[in-house]
Amino acid sequence: MNRSLLLSLLLVLVACPRASTTGSATSGSATSEPATSGSVDPDSLLLGPAPVAAAAVVFEPDPATSATYRGRTIDIAPHIAGFPYRSFRPFEELGVMLFMHESGQGRSLRVLPLRDVPDFESARVLNDIDWNTRNLGDMEPLPKEKAVLFIGDEDNREEYDLYKLFIEDGRIEKITDVPYIYGWGVDHVRDRVAWVARYPVGDDPASPQYRSCLEMMPLAGGDVTTVVCDDAQEQFGDLNFIWTGVSFSPDGTWAYLDTNVSSDRNQSNLVRIRLEGDVLVERLTEPVKRTVVGALDDWLDDGRFVYLDNASGYINVGVGDHADGSMKALTTHEEDLSEAAVLRAGRTPLILTVIGRPWESEIQLLDAQGALLAKRVLPENLYLLHHNRNTAWFYATSRGAKMRILKLSASEYGGFILSPWFGIPDALAAAVEHCDVSRVQIPTFDTDAAGAPRMLHAYWSTPKVPPVEGEPRLAGITAFYGGDNNWDTQSQILCQAGISQLSPAVRGSWGFGAEFYGLNDGDLGGDEIVDLHWMAKWLQDVQGFEPANVGVYGGSHGGYATMRALTFPPGTNGRDSDFPFGWGVSFFGFSDIKTFYETCNIPDWVLLEAGDPATEPDKIRDRSPLYHVDLLDSSILLLHGENDLRVPVQESRQFAAACEKAGKDCTYVEFAGQGHGLKGLENQVRVYRAWFEYLERVTGN
């Protein structure tokens, strides 16, 4: 399993113990404690030099990049381009670090030598591409060619292919030309690359079908070899490829990949496929419920691979034997791992893991038998940027601290040193930190597996400068993908405007074990929306917000959930649930599950989350906000990029048209050239100007 797969599967993995507090949303029972903030010195936990910060800068509001809300001026530029460096990719094998530079003129890819103190101002621009106009994903270094291999596209449409980027002159060479790449990997000697490509079969839009194929080619150039496709029944049976990484055996003769049974993510399986001679597909895992399983790129040695697996209900790490295909778990955590990698200190192989929790991360270093050698707890989410030999680099972020880069150096004696490399300047921190953040546990409507009231983990963010007397108090709820311990630029901008936010991890969220993650399978737009209602009732009953000033917002699935929350039939699932939201903002959400299924690039996700439009048409229609516009009593703002292939732009267009026909209050803003996400300072300024203008119009005292 390569790192791109782990991040795409896990998003942000956090794990939260169930709170012992009982009660209901209306009773006001909840637990609360401060989240990590600037008052905590996270570097007290580290060894090494202090973080490197750029020279202090005073940020004066610029009218050209500012939005206004009820007398407040919110300059978007410091939030987006105040520290204009992002997407850090340190490559020790190449002796360089690649990163993005964000400005009002676009996003450029730059390179500088990999040094103890990065001098960002001296970095060289690699090419003249504005990377706001295209996607750039995970990278792997190619030392022989002084290049990196990356997955991306050319127009933000998520039509993913593989490309080479040459460090010397910034030249980009496209090496694949397929409709969509699910996942990929490079062999251990960096001679071949393999990928899983998805191809459409048939032309019936009501029932989109695909075949996915494992393909490979020499990195130096040459013919593409199709190893096997998942419609080869004699070899694959009921298995099919999904989003996956390709892990080569050290001798290059086998590939290890994740597969599903009949597109069911709850039946994930690790398989290995012989690449030379007659194709042979071997299933290595038992047919039990699991949503994560995959082999890491790096092996302990020629005969042992490291894998992740959540058959226990939580993501743990194990070691497999290449000779006989046997697999043995090394850890038995009852919380999820969010990162894992194989390091090598001298000749000693080590396994680096990170346990993700809503409020902290725990780094653990294990030996090849799973014995714990060293550990360190940090108050942030950690994302593994790259690793090589005994070194790993992490991006660290939390709700209360924007970012810093950490470097871990492991010793062959079993310990490690964790040192801060660089972070944002203090002046910028002051310009972008506008929220007081606490983490809370809020009861929802049902009970958990132990029979106790189910508590939802959430972050509660309030403005450091609250609204003055006479101004309306507004609060927004993240509709989906909330509850993570990441810096949230959107949240900070809303706080600067005086707007509070609640970011809950509703059912179906990652990081709380497989049982919680699967609670919304087949129930899209059902109980996950009832969770939102209970969060809104907590804002009303515990925090004292007027329902007319409580809103809901989100992107993608969260955009759908926003539309669904505002048009929710109360009788859904027999819950008799409703809340009179005052406003909603949907970013690139889908409004009709059927048309989304027929036109998106993830129809298998729809089958699992919502059901099959061909066999459950009534249910699919009932769960689609488009057909309940008559229930829309509040207003809504829709934002969408015209090049979006994940959620095609027609999904917002048709909802806006239905609102207009029904005489409902809907504002629609479309973004030319943008895909599944709105990139760049200019677009973000446009977003917040539209958002604040909308809120001033639809909310009051």
pLDDT digits (tens, 9 = 90+) for 292-302: 999 999 999 99
CATH of the domain at 620: 3.40.50.1820
Same domain, 514 and 579: yes
Can you give the C-alpha Rg of the chain in angstroms?
Answer: 25
- Bridge partners of residue 273, in order along the sequence: 255, 281
Rounded Cα distance between 650 and 652, Å, is: 5
- Asked, for residue 80, whether it belongs to a domain, the answer is no
Q: Mean pLDDT over residues 343-351, rounded?
A: 94
Same domain, 403 and 437: no
Number of H helices, E strands in the chain: 13, 40
Q: Mean pLDDT over residues 2-8, rounded?
A: 38
Q: Can you list the positions of beta strands (E) in 490-634?
A: 500-504, 550-555, 583-587
The total of structural domains in the chain comes to: 2
Domain boundary among 376, 402, 423: 423
At 265 the pLDDT is: 82
- pLDDT band with cut points at 50, 70 and 90 for residue 57: low
Same domain, 412 and 477: no
- pLDDT band with cut points at 50, 70 and 90 for residue 37: very low
615: its two tokens = 């066999």
Q: Mean pLDDT over residues 259-273, rounded?
A: 91
Q: Mean pLDDT over residues 23-47, rounded?
A: 40
Same domain, 393 and 449: no
Q: Mean pLDDT over residues 322-351, rounded?
A: 96
- Asked, for residue 360, whether it belongs to a domain, the answer is yes
Percent of the chain exceeding pLDDT 70 equals: 91
Q: Identify which has the larger pLDDT, 41 or 64.
A: 64
DSSP codes, 240-274: EE-S---EE-TTSSEEEEEEEETTEEEEEEEEEEE
Domain interval for residue 386: 335-423
Contacts of 585 (CB under 8 A, 6+ apart): 476, 551, 552, 553, 562, 636, 637, 639, 691, 694
The whole-angstrom distance between residue 129's C-alpha and the CA centroid of its chain comes to 25
At 218 the pLDDT is: 97
pLDDT digits (tens, 9 = 90+) for 692-701: 999 999 997 5
- Bridge partners of residue 201, in order along the sequence: 209
The letter for the amino acid at 193 is: V
Same domain, 558 and 675: yes
Highest mean pLDDT: which of 102-106, 169-173, 424-428? 169-173
Q: Is the pLDDT of residue 18 over 90?
A: no
pLDDT digits (tens, 9 = 90+) for 445-459: 999 989 999 999 999
Q: Is the pLDDT of residue 551 over 90?
A: yes
- Asked, for residue 497, whether it belongs to a domain, the answer is yes
At 415 the pLDDT is: 94
DSSP codes, 142-178: EGGGTEEEEEE-SSSS---EEEEEETTT--EEE----
| C-beta separation of 587 from 556 below 8 A | yes
At 264 the pLDDT is: 85
- pLDDT band with cut points at 50, 70 and 90 for residue 6: very low
Question: DSSP secondary-structure letter at 647?
Answer: T
pLDDT digits (tens, 9 = 90+) for 494-506: 999 999 999 999 9
Same domain, 433 and 549: yes
Per this entry, what is the length of the chain?
A: 701
Q: Mean pLDDT over residues 515-531, rounded?
A: 96
Helix 557-566 and helix 527-541: axis angle, to 10°? 70
- Asked, for residue 68, whether it belongs to a domain, the answer is no
Three-class DSSP category at 636: strand
CA dihedral 56, 60, 66, 69 (to 10 degrees): 110
- Asked, for residue 195, whether it belongs to a domain, the answer is no
At 242 the pLDDT is: 84
Contacts of 278 (CB under 8 A, 6+ apart): none
- Asked, for residue 86, whether it belongs to a domain, the answer is no
Same domain, 383 and 456: no
The letter for the amino acid at 100 is: M
At 24 the pLDDT is: 32
CB atoms inside a 10 Å sphere around CB 619: 19
Q: Is the pLDDT of residue 25 over 70?
A: no
Question: To the nearest whole number, what is the mean pLDDT of the chain?
Answer: 90
Rounded Cα distance between 91 and 141, Å, is: 7
Same domain, 433 and 552: yes
SS (H, E, C) 109-134: EEEEECCCCCCHHHCEECCCCCHHHC
pLDDT digits (tens, 9 = 90+) for 623-682: 999 999 999 999 999 999 999 999 999 999 999 999 999 999 999 999 999 999 999 999
Same domain, 419 and 536: no
Q: Is the pLDDT of residue 423 over 90?
A: yes
Q: Mean pLDDT over residues 344-362, rounded?
A: 95
418: its two tokens = 């964790």
Same domain, 518 and 653: yes
Domain boundary among 401, 423, 445: 423
124: its two tokens = 């060289």
Domain boundary among 423, 451, 484: 423
Same domain, 342 and 447: no
- Bridge partners of residue 392, in order along the sequence: 387, 408
pLDDT digits (tens, 9 = 90+) for 584-603: 999 999 999 999 999 998 89
- Asked, for residue 271, whether it belongs to a domain, the answer is no
Weakest mean pLDDT among 152-156, 194-198, 231-235: 231-235
Same domain, 397 and 523: no
Rounded Cα distance between 432 and 35, Å, is: 17
DSSP codes, 596-614: HHHHSS-HHHHHHHT--TT
Q: Is the pLDDT of residue 88 over 80?
A: yes
CB atoms inside a 10 Å sphere around CB 660: 12
| C-beta separation of 139 from 111 below 8 A | no
- Asked, for residue 67, whether it belongs to a domain, the answer is no
At 58 the pLDDT is: 57
At 205 the pLDDT is: 76
